[in-house]
Amino acid sequence: MKKSRLWAGIFLILLSGCLAAPETIRDVRVLRQDHAAYLASGGETRDILPPETQKRLEEEYNIIHFSVWHQARPFHALAARVENDVKRFAAKPGYGENKKRHPSSWMKKIQHNAALTGYPNTLTRGITIRNTDLRALPTRSPHFHDRDGDAWAWPFDNLQRSSVAANTPVFVCHTSLDKSWVLVETSFTFGWIPAEDLAYADDAFIKSWESGRYAVVVRDYTSILDEDNRFLMRASVGHIFPQSEHGANRAQILVAVADPRGNAVIRKGYAPADAMVPKPLRFNAVNAARIANEMIGEPYGWGGLYGHRDCSSMTRRNAARLC
């Protein structure tokens, strides 16, 4: 009797290994994927936060967001932290996208180009002009601990620290030896970005940009166009821009681009009126459901990899809209 039960158990285990996992979990298949469908009747437009509380939170958020333009030294990107990134990956070079182990020369070249002996060598202010990624090292090459990826979820690139939206204020700490990479810090972390994704900000630019009136994107994959209807950048939920005008059909905002010398200058940008609202968005159930619906079906993005969100970027984007 005991043997028959044992063999039955083994058979069930083997059988379960042959069953294909569903593309989506059962809840997603059977429950309506529309957050507005679950709102309680009658309280949809009632403020979840008192207006005065939301105003105070917005002021605090803006102070933190622009804080990098009002510092003289690195805050997140301390020398010990930056050097630790180099030491950590030098000790374990790991594997690349070709599933082959990185040779020792790979890290030596990166370390040489980082030129950290004179860190920090720049100390100035800037703004991102493209959607970009903060890297733990000045390289686009990935790093994996294992030949077949990490945590059974290839690719979890260990050099991917976070994504950064276009037109995000940054403090520029260091420039690589070949000038192609800059180490910057945002209000929430630090990392290396390609030099072409940055423009340098002077006092006049910063004064104009910190206008106190901002618009926030509430629709993913929104194209920001210039006055001649040409593409400037792609914006997603939570991206912040100084607000100019909000018409019936389109919203006019201010956008930062680089002049021929690499300095930030302001241009007018335009987006569909329903894709952008004055910041902050009223915090009520209807607006919460609207934003949540924008994120349905989005793949998880490790550190914002490939333009997708992870848990921290989703939290930051939500805070940007409501604060």
pLDDT in tens, 135-171: 999 999 999 988 876 655 556 899 999 999 999 999 9
36 pLDDT band, cuts 50/70/90, is confident
Residue 13 has pLDDT above 60, yes or no: no
Query: In this structure, which amino acid lies at residue 213?
Result: R
Average pLDDT over residues 82-86: 97
**How high is the pLDDT of residue 123?**
98
Global confidence as pTM: 0.86
CA dihedral 17, 23, 28, 29 (to 10 degrees): -90
**How high is the pLDDT of residue 20?**
55
Is 159:232 a contact under the CB 8 Å cutoff? no
Q: How far apart are CA 279 and CA 251, in angstroms?
A: 13
Residues 6+ apart with CB under 8 A from 121: 115, 174, 175
- The residue ranking higher by pLDDT, 15 or 244, is 244
Give the domain ranges of the chain: 51-322
Q: How far apart are CA 82 and CA 161, in angstroms?
A: 13
Q: What is the torsional sign of CA 26, 28, 30, 35?
A: positive
Tokens of 272: 């569909």
**How high is the pLDDT of residue 14?**
46
186 pLDDT band, cuts 50/70/90, is very high
**How high is the pLDDT of residue 121?**
98
- Strand locations in 7-54 (E): none
**How high is the pLDDT of residue 305?**
74
Q: DSSP character for 178?
A: T
Give SS3 for 209: helix
Is 190:76 a contact under the CB 8 Å cutoff? yes
